[in-house]
Amino acid sequence: MTTTTEAITVPLRTADGGTNGTVELPATDFGRQVNVALIHQVVTAQLAAARQGTHATKTRGDVRGGGKKPYKQKGTGRARQGSLRAPQFTGGGTVHGPQPRDYSQRTPKKMKAAALRGALSDRVRHERLHVVEGMAIGEAPSTKTAVKLLSTLSGRKNVLVVLTRDDEVSAKSLRNIAGVHVLPADQLNTYDVVKSDDIVFTRAALDAFVAGPPKGRSATAVAAESEGSTL
């Protein structure tokens, strides 16, 4: 998958809606060529993995009763029957019904990473990726400030905001806003990027995403260690 060599810059927005210079986005993460087929495959696998697969129907062997022959074999003028739990009877078993199964699909890590970066690159090309210093002014959470800032950045319905796990001020400012989905940087994924109209990174979250998980530790391990966070 090719990348662009041109520098990618976006404005760095402040919580009051102003601008404080620009932020350079690494071309390796945000300048990728979009592979729609790859993104579709990864999103399909992610949705499949989210299925519980606990659906089940009873076959005629699982339905209670039916051990006695309903009526004699011959002389009634009716079709011969051996059990009232056969599929043709009300309350009988189901033929070829769904049974518990695992829907998960194996997706290599490199494919997931490439799909995510391709989706982010698409948002950058359409000017739907934004970077902000924070979602509130000062140390106190403010939903009003966050709503005003998001309306300035985008008037679209679904917005994904990416934060660091220790950014409680921004998380509390955003948690009651309809249409806003909040994710920590180490849980950013292709599906949430694709289903969102705009992506908003805080500066700290952008740096954390670009840096990736600490060497020798996966994002899953980092997330497990941070369990109990407000995000």
What pLDDT does residue 80 have? 94
What pLDDT does residue 39 have? 96
Q: Which residue has the tokens 């033929």?
A: 95
Measure the CA–CA gap between 185 and 210, rounded to whole angstroms. Answer: 9
Give the H/E segment covering residue 130: strand 129-132
Q: What is the pLDDT along the chain (231 residues), one digit of tens a residue?
A: 455 556 789 999 998 888 888 999 998 899 999 999 999 999 999 999 999 999 999 999 999 988 889 999 999 999 999 999 999 999 999 999 999 999 999 999 999 999 999 999 999 999 999 999 988 888 899 999 999 999 999 888 899 999 999 999 999 999 999 999 999 999 999 999 999 999 999 999 999 999 887 765 555 565 555 555 445
Residue among 123, 116, 105 nearest 35 (CA): 116
What pLDDT does residue 20 have? 87
What pLDDT does residue 117 have? 95
Indicate the burial class of 154 (C-beta count within 10 angstroms; 0-12, 13-18, 19 or more).
middle
What pLDDT does residue 183 have? 95
- Say if residues 199 and 120 touch (Cβ distance below 8 Å): yes
Tokens representing residue 132 in the block: 């902000």
